[in-house]
Amino acid sequence: MSDQLSLEQKIAQKMMIDVRYFCQESKPMSSSDNSPVPCRSAVTRLPDELHTLIKDTSLGGVILFAENLQTVEQIIDLTQQLQDAALQSAAARPLFISIDQEGGRVFRTPRAITTGFAGNMAIGATYARHGVDYAGEVGAVLAKELSVLGINTNHAPVIDVNSNPDNPVINVRSFGEQPQMVAELSVAMLKQMQQAGVMATLKHFPGHGDTHLDSHLALPVVNHPRHLIERVDLAPFQWAIDYSKPAMIMTAHIQYPALDDSRVSSRDGESLIRPATMSRVILTDLLRHQMNFEGLVITDALDMAAISHYFEPTEAVIETFAAGADIALMPYPIRTVDDIAALKAMIADIAAAVRQGRIDESELDQSLARITRLKQSFLADSKVVADRSHLYQQAKAVLAQPSHRYLEQRLANESVTLVQAKTGVLPLQSSQVEHVHLIAATELQAAMLQQEFQHHWPALANGEVRWTQSVFSDWQQVEAEQLSAQADWVIHAGWQRLASLVDIGGMADQASQQRPAISYDDAMKASELALGAARAQQRQIFLLGFGTPYELEPLLPLSDVAIVAYHHGIHRDADSERLAGPTYRAVVAALFNQSPFHGDLPVQLSMPHCDLCIDDSLSQQGAL
């Protein structure tokens, strides 16, 4: 079949676009000041123009975002429409329909109808007691729920070793800071995903764990020496390649001069160290040949600033294909009819680059053969049906079923980690307490915590105990200090730094991203003043972290109890309309001695320099 495809169709098979938004207008609308207004019309049903694009070009894949995903029936209809377009193409091959469904912070399907979990670092917190059990169970559930919706490719798990506490984009998306633990948990999750029929993607090669910049916004550099890269960053990838069969590995838009210090010219003529995504030394010589990876190399999104700021879209794709990437993820944003023509022109320009020898045509055919083999292995049963009622019923029987929700809560319970506690403070003794003051990040978080405290504390539920709160979205410093000094208990529910763009979607969200009313640094200063006022009056202070553990560290000296739960997700229960937040439920239950503190910190808050490496004896034994 590959011999029957044109060069342009072969190139299209190597592209994975997003269909997040699409507007019928050929050009973006203008605002009152005549500036362009980006298209924000979510694609929940495949427009005819995109159906035709997929069919005419033989496009190889798409990636879906939260805006594409609303209800069970709608999601299945959309994935069926996408496959219908692909199977009508000259290639007649099903699409990779992909998603970033990591669990925890990065989760695209609606939490009210699917199971979201507490995320990778929460799983890492269970490793000492439960080994890889939760990684495997969570991987299986994520895959089963995606599969019944028609989504066949998951860009997870994150296999980065988070060795930098200031990492803005990975942190709790990582299992932790020990490569051996990260390796074992990643392989367990990957194996279960793929056994459930969903292709998994290890990311971000050769490692995004020690960066202080977000590659959505800048081009990071990792200056580790080669030996440290091999023992920390590369070690989990090598372990996964040796002891499993990863369908895909995603590249990182990061410079690694110890691996490849060759240079490339940017669109402005600037000489740059090649990012890994464009490095043949890294993608072909290292990953493909030295590490013996046989699956597909997919780029991270090429619209991220680490690439798009420095390279024109077509040039970026040419460079990464020449480096050895099999799939270009989000090579060009398709938002209007004009963008469809631009993508076709890009494909034609890349074909010209092949004919000119910039991309080796025999390597392109080898890449296409890898894509074809993987689709035959995982997608052979892909079909389109007219009557989808049985698909809807099957999905509803699987999604967020009681056993999945139970696993979600069980992981939250088992991962709750007691960082510090003064003698005699726990479990909570509430009989003499008359006033509780909460410091929360948002009104929703405050409501979630109040609901859970009332569940365990009848006097609070009955109004016999005063509950006050200060929320960073509407911060009043003087009032926060006064109430903290008056209360018997002060509960600080943590602060989440401004989310990385990957948490909420991608580069399309940059202009519209909601900024908090108070910055992280200002929030920490405000918290220190409020908690200091409470400490001066000898009030008991409880520090609850619902995000990265590193954010607890500045406030630890002021607290009597410090707990971390790794995830701040809250949604409304589809049936009861009550707020649901498994980590909040777990933390409050542990405070009242209804469940134990079983979690172990998978990172060091002090982050001393240490030799982080996979245990050579285990590696030699092939233990897993």
CA–CA distance, 280 with 284 (Å, rounded to integer):
5
Please give the Cα distance from 90 to 57 (Å, whole number). 8
Diameter of the chain measured on Cα atoms: 81
Cα–Cα distance for residue pair 194/374, rounded to 1 Å: 12
What's the CA gap between 356 and 285, in Å, rounded? 23
Strand, helix or coil for residue 386: coil
**Contact in structure between 140 and 195 (CB atoms under 8 Å):** yes
Q: Which two tokens stand for residue 141?
A: 């559930």
389 C-beta neighbours (distance < 10 Å), count = 9
Place of tokens 């004896």: 617
What are the residue numbers of the active site? 300
Strands (E), 28-134: 29-30, 36-37, 61-64, 96-99
Structure token digits, residue 192? 């279960």
- Separation of alpha carbons 382 and 91, rounded Å: 14
Alpha carbon distance, N-terminus to C-terminus of the chain: 39
DSSP 209: T
User: Nearest to residue 75, comparing CAs of 29, 116, 42?
Assistant: 42
Q: Work out the number of other CB atoms within 10 angstroms of the CB of residue 211.
A: 24
For residue 331, cis peptide bond before it (omega within 30 degrees of 0): no
Read off the DSSP letter of residue 282. Answer: I
CB 163 within 8 A of CB 177: yes
User: Could you give the CA distance from residue 92 to residue 59 in angstroms, rounded to a whole number?
Assistant: 10
Q: Which two tokens stand for residue 264?
A: 């490339």
In one-letter notation, the amino acid at residue 203 is K
For residues 269, 273, 278 and 281, what is the CA-based torsion angle, rounded to 10 degrees?
A: 140
d(CA 347, CA 368): 15
Q: What DSSP character marks residue 301?
A: P
Cβ atoms of 556 and 419 closer than 8 Å: yes
Angle at 49 between CA 46 and CA 52, to 5 degrees: 95
**In Å, what is the CA distance from 493 to each residue of 469, 480, 517, 536?**
11, 14, 17, 20
Q: Any alpha helices (H) in 88-132, and if so which ranges? A: 120-125, 127-130
Scan for tokens 């605002």, then name that residue: 31
Nearest to 4 by CA among 92, 95, 94, 96: 92
